[in-house]
């Protein structure tokens, strides 16, 4: 009986051992591919993010560059010489004074046997501006952003590296893989492609380049590309310990080995193009064939000889494969060890051990995989998963740690994106979008509950003077200083925002009117005491602030902000450096109503063609011969079409609303069309508003209209008022230089009305000075005016400029101006403005 029992017991143990061995074997065959497949997919997704971003970025850059080339104004290529200069070695490079490797690209470009074409010059200018604008935001994460020229040159931005300056006269990109791979003969489909991996000696890191062929106007003109550092990707396949079970490698779709820890030196020697088939390594070759034969982005399989499990997942962008290989011998070893352990434990105590084993397997394998799967699902749905934190050194533990790291990085990226969407880039304060969102939330929730609230709007008085006088760096420094001082004054529950420019806002939810006024007083007082040392001089600005309180001053977000804005301008009208609470007084309401009414009338005039040009002759003072006409703007009165409205009634409103830009373009278009219709008319003078100095496209618009109408630029005389030019001297100089370059004549109108007028003549390169009519009226009876007019004429003659005296209304004034030597005269004594001027009929 005992033998039988022992025999039955031993038979049972043997049967259980065999069944356990088979179960372990089957479980291993299912679990091993699942684990390595999950692992390789996460690794691939982790490694591909930067490459996918680079691929998308270079496509976007190509599209943007082509659009800008197609839409470039006609004078864009002409700016080439202002940006680049030819060096003594014959290469074109960025002008030395403009070289700024931290914020702008550099260039080397060969001149060619016949010089540079207009196309090359245009591409150089447009690509320089594009990389200067977008390069600092792209580098990092990428190592560089660049454009190759088929003319043998390179425009490249890589922070802190002067590629153009480092190039010598023999520098050439003709044999670069970027150019060879973009050649239409090799790449007829014009596909974006990736270069082979290479070790960059200057950066001491592994690189790969994504290249987009650049075609424009039906021709191949170069490439656009990013260099991407992939040292982190290569290091990611290094085993955590020398005898790790899973072998990791990265290969491309042609069978080249990109990264493999055991062959680093050979991969480096082959510059990332080490063919697996040439290694005579059966295990690697079988893994490669299994991956390439599957024709799928992800998968798992066993090699034909059964020696190893192989899992792969495609790395989007360059199309490489992340490959993990788990030897079957290692799986077998694990199975045997576990089986022996089970047998040994079974001999001691079978039932409790099996129960403990079941729990252990659940704790070590099933639950971690469930946690990992649940976390992956949560991450895919946009939620933030809880850290898995298995705290184990095995593969699953490392997999959990890698996933936790990846999830944390994604959460940080989301937080950074949220910050960029809600914060002002310069000051770090909340931006206009956040301000409007918080105000809308208050009126949606807090206002219904009967809560009070207040909006404070303020800007810096005379801030434009700081920018124009000391530069935008000083202006930015002042904005940062004001933001910091004001931030210390507001409560934690208040929202301080920069709306744009020098305009700030504070939204105070749950605030009484008294607390809002107290904060307004502190802000005005603090800003007034804030100083900034600029060029060794203390600079101090003041602020004008408006307060609107809910529910007293508005029942909606738009109304509250509008009334705070009105209050701010009331503060400015009262002398600035103060705060004002919104008052719906009659004058302010009437002013706003008048402004809105005139804005509507101006809009109707533009839409219904109610604008007209009247013309007044300008004559030579010595012989009375007409030199040109001046076009004067009028608006037809809708109520009485026989009446015209003079500009002094509506130009001020047009400038405030911004419609003056449309009016100026209308005047330009109509005047040039008139010159084209009257080829016998020598010239026509037009007036341009000072607001148009801010429109960088207006000189190009004028040039385009002259070209389209075939009108010589010298026949157009552009008049700018002195006060507008001096108030925005930098933009005025740019505007005048652009028109002079186009060939137009320039006149400085109302000369003498500004402070220190003569001092500005050296900055404003104009052809004609029109003396302010204030000095011409009553000229025979005003001795001081005679001295001043004579001085203007003498200074203008010395600087090679002509003079015009306007408001000549009697013969005595005309004779006196002739004695002084003025060149031209204009006024009611000689000619009155009229729509059908006789000279237009005589000179068709």
* 501-556 per-position pLDDT tens digit: 889 999 999 889 999 999 999 999 999 888 888 777 788 889 999 999 998 888 88
What pLDDT score was predicted for residue 132?
95
What pLDDT score was predicted for residue 594?
59
Pairing type for strands 684-688 and 626-636 reads parallel
Most confident of 398-412, 458-472, 514-528: 514-528
Pairing type for strands 106-110 and 453-460 reads unpaired
Q: How confident is the model at residue 637 (pLDDT cuts 50, 70, 90)?
A: confident
CB burial string 162-171: b at 16+ within 10 A, e below: bbbbebeeeb
What pLDDT score was predicted for residue 235?
80
* Tokens (6 digits) for 179: 């150019």
What pLDDT score was predicted for residue 3?
52
Q: CA of 837: how far to CAs of 642, 687, 808, 832, in Å? A: 17, 18, 19, 9
Q: Name which of 14-18, 556-560, 803-807 the model is least confident about.
A: 14-18
Average pLDDT over residues 602-610: 84
Whether 258 and 251 have beta carbons less than 8 Å apart is answered as yes
Distance CA 418, CA 661 (A): 36
Indicate if the pLDDT at residue 592 is higher than 60: no
Indicate if the pLDDT at residue 492 is higher than 70: yes
What pLDDT score was predicted for residue 543?
93
Half-sphere exposure in the Cβ direction for 177 (13 Å, CA): 14
Q: pLDDT higher for 91 or 47?
A: 91
Q: pLDDT higher for 710 or 727?
A: 710
Q: pLDDT higher for 1 or 253?
A: 253
Taking the whole predicted model, whether its pTM rises above 0.85 is answered as no
What pLDDT score was predicted for residue 725?
60
Residue % of the chain over a pLDDT of 90: 33
* Tokens (6 digits) for 565: 């804005």
- Residues comprising the chain, all counted: 844
Q: How confident is the model at residue 755 (pLDDT cuts 50, 70, 90)?
A: very low
Average pLDDT over residues 801-830: 92
Average pLDDT, the chain: 84
Most confident of 78-87, 232-241, 335-344, 366-375: 78-87
Indicate if the pLDDT at residue 704 is higher than 90: yes
Closest CA to 663 of 679, 627, 687: 687
Indicate if the pLDDT at residue 381 is higher than 70: no
What pLDDT score was predicted for residue 1?
42
What pLDDT score was predicted for residue 2?
46
Average pLDDT over residues 307-315: 90
CA of residue 809 relative to chain centroid, distance: 55
Indicate if the pLDDT at residue 586 is higher than 60: no
CA of residue 19 relative to chain centroid, distance: 67
Average pLDDT over residues 71-77: 91
Q: How confident is the model at residue 456 (pLDDT cuts 50, 70, 90)?
A: very high
DSSP string, 464-485: HHHHHHH-HHHHHHHHHHHHHH
Indicate if the pLDDT at residue 766 is higher than 90: no
Whether 668 and 709 have beta carbons less than 8 Å apart is answered as no
Distance CA 75, CA 250 (A): 50
* Tokens (6 digits) for 484: 């910091």
CA of residue 648 relative to chain centroid, distance: 39
What pLDDT score was predicted for residue 361?
61
Q: Name residue, tokens 């920018």.
A: 467
């Amino acid at each position: 009986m005992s033998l039988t029992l022992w025999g039955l017991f031993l038979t049972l143990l043997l049967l259980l051992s065999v069944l356990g061995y088979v179960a372990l074997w089957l479980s291993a065959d299912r679990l091993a591919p699942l684990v390595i497949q999950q692992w390789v997919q996460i690794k691939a997704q982790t490694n591909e993010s930067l490459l996918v971003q680079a691929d998308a970025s270079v496509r976007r850059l190509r599209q943007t560059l082509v659009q800008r080339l197609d839409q470039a104004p006609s004078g864009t290529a002409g700016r080439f010489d202002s940006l680049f200069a030819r060096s003594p070695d014959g290469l074109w490079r960025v002008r030395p004074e403009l070289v700024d490797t931290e914020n702008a690209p550099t260039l080397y470009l060969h001149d060619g046997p016949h010089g540079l074409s207009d196309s090359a010059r245009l591409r150089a200018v447009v690509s320089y501006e594009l990389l200067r604008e977008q390069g600092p935001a792209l580098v990092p994460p990428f190592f560089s952003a660049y454009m190759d020229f088929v003319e043998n040159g390179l425009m490249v931005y890589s922070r802190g590296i002067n590629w153009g300056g480092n190039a010598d006269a023999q520098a050439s990109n003709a044999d670069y893989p970027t150019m060879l791979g973009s050649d239409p003969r090799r790449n007829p489909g014009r596909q974006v492609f990736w270069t082979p991996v290479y070790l960059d000696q200057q950066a001491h890191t592994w690189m790969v380049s994504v290249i987009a062929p650049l075609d424009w106007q039906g021709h191949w003109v170069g490439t656009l590309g990013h260099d991407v550092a992939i040292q982190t990707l290569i290091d990611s396949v290094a085993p955590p310990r020398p005898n790790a079970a899973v072998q990791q490698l990265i290969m491309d779709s042609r069978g080249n080995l990109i990264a493999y820890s055991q062959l680093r030196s050979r991969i480096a020697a082959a510059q990332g193009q080490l063919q697996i088939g040439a290694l005579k390594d059966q295990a690697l070759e079988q893994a490669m064939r299994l991956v390439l034969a599957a024709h799928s982005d992800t998968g798992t399989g066993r090699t034909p000889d059964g020696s190893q499990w192989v899992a792969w997942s495609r790395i989007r962008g360059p199309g490489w494969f992340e490959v993990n290989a788990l030897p079957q011998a290692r799986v077998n070893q694990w199975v045997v060890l576990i089986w022996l352990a089970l047998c040994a434990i079974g001999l001691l105590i079978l039932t409790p051990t099996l129960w403990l084993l079941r729990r252990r397997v659940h704790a070590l394998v099933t639950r971690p995989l469930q946690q990992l799967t649940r976390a992956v699902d949560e991450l895919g749905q946009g939620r933030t998963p809880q850290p898995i934190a298995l705290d184990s050194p095995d593969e699953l533990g490392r997999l959990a740690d890698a996933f936790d790291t990846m999830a944390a990085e994604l959460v940080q990226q989301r937080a950074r994106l949220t910050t960029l969407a809600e914060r002002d880039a310069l000051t770090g304060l909340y931006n206009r979008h956040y301000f409007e969102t918080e105000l809308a939330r208050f009126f949606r929730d807090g206002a219904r509950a009967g809560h009070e609230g207040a909006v404070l709007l303020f800007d810096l008085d005379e801030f434009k003077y700081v920018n124009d006088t000391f530069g935008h760096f000083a202006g930015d420094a002042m904005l940062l200083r004001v933001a910091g001082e004001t931030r210390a004054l507001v409560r934690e529950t208040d929202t301080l925002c920069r709306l744009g420019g020098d305009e700030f806002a504070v939204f105070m939810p749950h605030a009484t009117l008294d607390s809002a006024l107290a904060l307004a007083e502190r802000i005005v007082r603090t800003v007034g005491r804030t100083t900034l040392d600029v060029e060794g001089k203390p600079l101090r600005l003041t602020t004008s602030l408006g307060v609107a309180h809910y529910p007293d001053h508005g029942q909606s977000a738009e109304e509250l902000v509008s009334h705070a804005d009105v209050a701010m301008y009331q503060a400015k009208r009262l002398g600035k450096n103060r705060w004002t609470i919104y008052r719906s007084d009659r004058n302010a309401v009437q002013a706003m109503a008048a402004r809105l009414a005139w804005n509507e009338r101006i809009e109707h005039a533009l839409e219904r063609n109610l604008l007209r040009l009247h013309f007044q002759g300008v004559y030579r003072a010595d012989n009375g011969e007409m030199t040109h006409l001046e076009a004067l703007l009028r608006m037809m009165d809708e109520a009485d079409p026989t009446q015209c409205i003079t500009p002094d009634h509506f130009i001020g409103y047009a400038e405030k609303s911004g419609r003056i830009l449309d009016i100026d373009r209308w005047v330009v278009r109509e005047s040039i069309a008139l010159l084209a219709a009257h080829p016998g008319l020598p010239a026509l003078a037009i007036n341009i508003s000072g607001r148009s100095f801010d429109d960088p496209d207006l000189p190009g618009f004028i040039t385009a209209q002259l070209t389209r109408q075939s009108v010589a630029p010298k026949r157009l005389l552009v008049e700018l008022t002195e006060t507008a030019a001096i108030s925005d001297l930098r933009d005025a100089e740019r505007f005048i230089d652009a028109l002079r370059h186009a060939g137009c004549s320039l006149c400085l109108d109302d000369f003498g009305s500004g402070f220190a007028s003569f001092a500005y003549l050296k900055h404003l390169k104009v052809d004609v000075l029109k003396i302010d009519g204030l000095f011409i009226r009553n000229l025979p009876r005003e001795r001081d005016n005679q001295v001043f007019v004579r001085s203007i004429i003498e200074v203008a003659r010395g600087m090679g400029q002509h003079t015009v005296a306007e408001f000549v209304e009697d013969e005595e004034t005309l004779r006196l101006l002739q004695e002084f030597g003025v060149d031209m005269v204009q006024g009611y004594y000689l000619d009155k403005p009229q729509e059908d001027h006789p000279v237009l009929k005589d000179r068709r």
